[in-house]
Amino acid sequence: MKYEPIIGLEIHVQLKTKTKMFCGCAAHDQGVPPNTNVCPICLGHPGVLPVPNEAAIRYGVLMGLALNCTIAAHSKFDRKNYFYPDLPKAYQISQYDLPIAINGSVEIDVPGGEREHVTIGITRAHLEEDAAKSFHTHDGSTCVDFNRGGTPLVEIVTEPDFRSSKEAKVFLQELRLIARYLGVSDADMEKGHLRCDANVSLRRLDEKGDVVGERFNPKTEVKNLNSFRHVERAIEFEIARQTHLWESDTPPLISTTRGWNDTRGITEEQRSKEEAADYRYFPEPDIPPLALTEIADEMRMKLPELPSARRVRFATEYGLKPSDARQICDDPALADFVEAVFSELDSWLRALPEMEGLDEEALIKERGKLANLVSGWLLSKLMGLMMDRGIDIRTSKISPENFAEFITLIASRKINNTTGLTILSSMLDNGDDPSHIMEDKQLGRMDDASELAEIVSRVLAENPAEVLRYQAGEEQLLKLFIGLVMKSTEGTADAALTKNILLVKLKAE
C-alpha cells in the first residue's frame, strides 16, 4: 500500500509596524531591557481600551491581496480565551469567523519535486496580537518579558494542499520573500518573525493512485517550528512515524498536537487538540467592526510587483535564464541592482551604430547576449569577490552604472576575462569606474598586430624544443604558446589575434 502525505501550514508573520497592535508601545524588542515596551493596555490592566493599529490593518490587507485573497468588506476582532502566564488578559484578541482575508492561492515551483508546479490554497489570513515571551532560568523559575506581548501578527492558514516537506519549505520561502517585497515584515525565521505549525496526516492510495477510504484522516499538528530545517525535518519525521502506525494497523484515530524536539530529532506528544469551543471565542466588545473596502482599494494600488511576476519579467524582458532570474529575484536589493544595470545597458545598446535601423527583435537578441554576460559576471564572479570581502550588493561600492559599463567593455572585447576579473576587484575595492581602471592599469586589450607579432616571435624563439614538438604533431602545444603570450602581456593580448599570428608563424618556421 502507498501512503500519501497531506500537509497544511499555519504561519504567523510578525508585522513590521512602529507600534503594537492595540496600544502605542514600540513593537520591537531588540536592544531594550525586558518589560520596558509596556503599558496598561498591553499588560491587560482593567478598564483600558484597545485601539486597532491602522498600519497593521493595512499590512494585513496588503498581505491578503498578495496571497490572492478576497478582502472582507466587513471584519471584526474576537477574544480567544486561554489561561497562560504569557497572556495577562487571559484572552488574546484575534479574529474568528470574519478574518480580513479569505480564499487565496499561491503558486510555487518545486524543481526536482514529484510535482514541479503546485498551487497552494490559502484558507484565510487574520490579524491578532502576539503573546509575551516566557523563558526558563537555570534555577528553575520562569520569567516573562512582555515586550513582545501585543505586537501585531498576521496568521496565514493554508489548505491541506502540500504533498511533501519540500513543497512546504518552498512555500514558506516564497511567503518570506513576498513579505519582504511588500515590506510588511523582515520575515526572518531565526528572529521569530516567521513561525510555522505544520499539520500532517497520511492517506492510502491504490495502485491507480486513487484514495482508499476517507478523503482526509486525523492529523497531527506540530507546533512552533522556527527554522526551514525544523519544518522539513519535523514533517519528514511525522510522515515516517505515521507510516509506521498505518503499517502496524494502528493509524491515528484522533487529531493530536505534538512539539518538535530538535536535539532528539523527534516530535513529542503534547495534548489532544483543543476544540475551537475550548477557546470560548466571542466578539471583542471594545473594538467596533472593521469596514475594509476603502483600505483594500487603496492597498490594491500600492501592491508592488511580486517575486513570481518579477522572475517572469526578468526572463522575458531581459533574456535571463529562468534559474538566474530566480536567484536574482530572491534578493530584492540584487534585483533592483540588475534592473538598473539593464536600463543602462539598454541605452548603450540603442546608441550603438550597428543597432541603427534595427528593429525591437534585434534589440531583444542583443539584450539576451548581454544577459548571459550579466548573469555570468554577477552571479559567479562578483558574488564570489563580494563573499571573499564579507560584503553584499547593499554594502558594495559598485554602482549599477559602473557594472553596466564593465559589461559593455567585456561585450565589445575591450577587456578579456582575465583583465576583467582584475578590473572588477578594483571596482569593488575603490568604487572606480572600469574605463578609468582599465586606462590607469593599462589593462585594455592589446590588439596591435605588429606588437603582438614581435612578442609571438620572442616566445617561439625562447622555446625551440616545444616548437619542434608542435611541428612534429603535438598541436595541443598551441595552448602553451597562447598562455605564454598572455603571460608576457599580463593577460591583455587579444586571444583570437594571438592565435592567428601563432598559427601563421608556426607554419612558417
Q: CB of 11: closest distance to Zn ion in angstroms?
A: 25
Question: Which stretch, 39-47, 295-303, 335-343, 453-461, contacts Zn ion (CB under 5 A)?
Answer: 39-47
Q: CB of 201: closest distance to ligand ADP in angstroms?
A: 3
Contact of residue 201 among Zn ion, ligand ADP, none (CB under 5-8 Å per partner type) = ligand ADP
Contact of residue 42 among ligand ADP, Zn ion, none (CB under 5-8 Å per partner type) = Zn ion
Per-residue mark of binding to ligand ADP, 202-241 (x: CB under 6 A): --------------xx-x----------------------
Of 10 and 346, CB closest to ligand ADP = 10
Q: Is 400 in the site for ligand ADP (CB under 6 A)?
A: no
Cell 516573562 appears where? 144
Q: Is 165 in the site for ligand ADP (CB under 6 A)?
A: no
Nearest residue to 381 (alpha-carbon basis) of 362, 396, 360: 396
Q: Is 150 in the site for ligand ADP (CB under 6 A)?
A: no
Q: Which residues contact 98 (CB under 8 A, 6 or more apart)?
A: 72, 74, 75, 76, 289
- For the record, the C-alpha cell of 196 comes out as 510555522
Q: Is 95 in the site for ligand ADP (CB under 6 A)?
A: no
Q: Is 157 in the site for ligand ADP (CB under 6 A)?
A: yes
Could you tell me if 400 and 344 are in contact, meaning their C-beta atoms sit under 8 angstroms apart? yes
Task: Please tell me the distance from the alpha carbon of residue 314 to that of residue 351, in angstroms, as a whole number.
Answer: 22
Contact of residue 23 among ligand ADP, Zn ion, none (CB under 5-8 Å per partner type) = Zn ion
Task: Please tell me the distance from the alpha carbon of residue 58 to that of residue 262, in angstroms, as a whole number.
Answer: 36
Question: Which stretch, 36-44, 45-53, 344-352, 428-436, contacts Zn ion (CB under 5 A)?
Answer: 36-44
Q: Is 195 in the site for ligand ADP (CB under 6 A)?
A: no
Cell 518570506 appears where? 176
Task: Please tell me the distance from the alpha carbon of residue 269 to that of residue 245, in angstroms, as a whole number.
Answer: 14
Q: Is 23 in the site for Zn ion (CB under 5 A)?
A: yes
- For the record, the C-alpha cell of 31 comes out as 536592544
Could you tell me if 412 and 382 are in contact, meaning their C-beta atoms sit under 8 angstroms apart? no
Q: What is the DSSP string of 109-169?
A: E-TTSSSSEEEEEEEEEEEEEPPPEEEE-TTS-EEEETTSTT-EEEEEEE-S-B-SHHHHH
Residues 273-292 that bind ligand ADP (CB under 6 A): 273
Going from the C-alpha of 38 to that of each of 28, 119, 151, 371, 503, the distances in angstroms are 11, 41, 11, 52, 80
Contact of residue 60 among ligand ADP, Zn ion, none (CB under 5-8 Å per partner type) = none
Q: CB of 258: closest distance to ligand ADP in angstroms?
A: 13
Q: CB of 10: closest distance to ligand ADP in angstroms?
A: 5
Of 257 and 308, CB closest to ligand ADP = 257
What does the binding site for ligand ADP look like in residue numbers (CB under 6 A)? 6-10, 157-160, 199-201, 216-217, 219, 255, 273
